[in-house]
Amino acid sequence: MSKRVLIVGGVAGGASAATRLRRLDEHAEIIMFERGDYISFANCGLPYYIGGTIKKRDDLLVQTVEAMKSRFNIDVRIRSEVINVDTDNKKVTVKSSSKGIYEQEYDCLILSPGAKAIRPDIPGINSEKIFTLRNIPDTDAIKEFIDKKAVDSAVVVGGGFIGVEMAENLKSKGLNVTVVEAASHVLAPFDSDMVVTIEKELVKKGVDLVLGDGVKAFTDTKNRINVILNSGKTLAADIVILSIGVIPDTEFLKDSGIKLGPRGHIIVNEKMQTNIESVYAVGDAVEVTDFVTGLKTAVPLAGPANKQGRIAADNISGLNSVYKGTQGTSIVKVFGLTAAVTGANEKALKRAEIDYKKIIIHPVSHASYYPGALPMTLKLIFGDDGKILGAQCVGYKGVDKRIDVIASAIRFNGTVYDLAELELSYAPPYSSAKDPVNMAGFVAQNVLAGKSNMITWDEVSKLNKDDYILLDVRTEEEFIRGHVNGAVNIPLDSLRERISELDKTKIIIAYCKVGIRGYIAERILEQKGFTVLNVTGGYTEVKRLK
């Protein structure tokens, strides 16, 4: 006898579960309920359709109702909202635009309700000039408003991934754009020492940034909307995009007996199974385990949702598949810049009380002698045992493949020693014989072996200036063009001859352009009895962090 599987919600998690389930079981009765009109769409592409990079609206539609029926024999019921789940009697209550309210029994249930945009209860939040972006109707509404209302200015509230992408795409349409972020920096997954480069790119491209200031209220005027900030500052615009995060759309489960986390996320085990044996849950609405820290978290990303849908279908079909956690690998385009992250950042590690070390390097995208090599900044975070905990990279070319390699290493519990040993593809147009990933591994190895003692500029600023000598080992020409106040310039190639100019009773803090010459100076001086620290990232960090 075939079993009936109901799936609540489509898009990444629900649609993946449905199609995987059909491939595994031709005889199962599969019914998918979708509250809206679209069961599977490229939600990550929505800002680029609004901005005009993606020209055709239909290109956003990954699967249609007709295709799901003809290819996979799945009964898709759109405009059908599941409003109640009765786990005792294994049935759901559905509110349908065509059938009214009815009940549907199930053998297994997969919940993929997703998340909804946060709309805080502040004055003026219900203005018709305020929009959120989560789905196709949201996209249509924003695009129509911009195209028909002669919009020339926008305020984006929230500097997360969607907020930053919307800022870029609205700017590309010719709008004056301001991003308001209540935190001290945009893009929370990045540490502050990395995100500054992204913020500079936004400002360089004409986006106004208001950081460390939240919204107090909105007020409508005849044609515009005023955004009143907590600081008292008022911004006027034609449209507001609200992008301050999402919450799980799980209110319909409150009386179901299905356990929810403190913020309303569905609690599942490694098989994506809830506390009710026949009920599974996937996607943005579930609580997951952070792969690096082991703490419970929620990460609303398409990649994990797809994998979770597949795993739920596997387990319903008798395959023993498990989800091992989410590491939050993400990437974002910011005009000409690319920024990517994987694993834990410093904030997450501090919350988890995990000790870590970090290094920053400034390699180029491919062999420096081949035309078109562009700089990047790569940060690697690792434990005392060498285990890789996280990485962040910002640059113009080759950022994605470096973070993807490190993300793979993290997934396999790799160490910095593994990064040093990786044999990666090399030809001058694509990389260097020592790839940036290898270089990060080499530097981290030196730190763990005690062959290099790293310090950041922030840590330098906290030291007593009487206790150290700041040594610039770049050339005289480089020093003249710019240097850190108080630094002594002894070029690396003259260091052995001029070593007597340095005081052995003081700590020597060496720096160069990116850290390599500083490291060589460190090795020379340490073996001659000096106590030396090398500034990770070198003088490039000074200019980048300004």
> How many other CB atoms are found less than 10 A from the CB of residue 360?
24
- Whether residue 265 contacts residue 286, with contact meaning beta carbons closer than 8 Å, is answered with yes
Do 7 and 33 form a contact (C-beta atoms < 8 A)?
yes
CA–CA separation, 532 and 546 (whole Å) = 25
Locus of tokens 């800002």: 47
Does residue 25 sit in helix, strand or coil?
A: coil
Count CA atoms closer than 13 A to 518's CA, side-chain side: 27
Q: Are strands 239-242 and 130-131 parallel, antiparallel or unpaired?
A: parallel
Pairing, β 357-361 against β 337-343: unpaired
Read out DSSP for 458-499?
A: HHHHTS-GGGEEEEE-S-HHHHHH---TT-EE--GGGTTTTG
Q: Tell me which residue has tokens 């491939």.
A: 23
Determine which one of 44, 108, 393, 512 is catalytic.
44
Residue 512 is among the residues annotated as catalytic for this protein: no
Q: Look-up: residue for tokens 């990064």?
A: 419
Contact 390, 190 (CB under 8 A): no
| SS3 call for 248 | strand
Burial-class residue 142 by CB neighbours within 10 Å (0-12, 13-18, 19+).
buried
Strand order from edge to edge, sheet including 234-237: 215-220, 225-229, 234-237
Tell me the two tokens of residue 430: 């694509």
Q: Which positions ≥6 away from 172 have C-beta within 8 Å?
A: 51, 52, 53
Type of residue numbered 40: S
Q: How far apart are CA 228 and CA 219, in angstroms?
A: 8
Half-sphere exposure of residue 252: CA atoms within 13 angstroms, side-chain side: 21
Mapping DSSP to helix (H, G, I), strand (E, B) and coil, where does residue 372 land? coil
CB environment 297-321: b (16+ within 10 A), e (fewer): bbbbbbebbbbbbbbbbbbbbeeeb
Residue 394 tokens, joined: 């910002």
What is the full DSSP assignment across 290-340?
Answer: BTTT--EE----HHHHHHHHHHHHHHHTT-------B---EEEEETTEEEE
* Token representation of residue 232: 């008292």
Tokens representing 448 are 């763990």
Alpha helices in 317-422 (DSSP H): 346-351, 399-411, 416-421
Number of other CB atoms surrounding residue 294 within 10 Å: 11
Task: Return d(Cα 264, Cα 420) in angstroms, integer.
Answer: 42
Question: Which residues does the annotation mark as catalytic?
Answer: 44
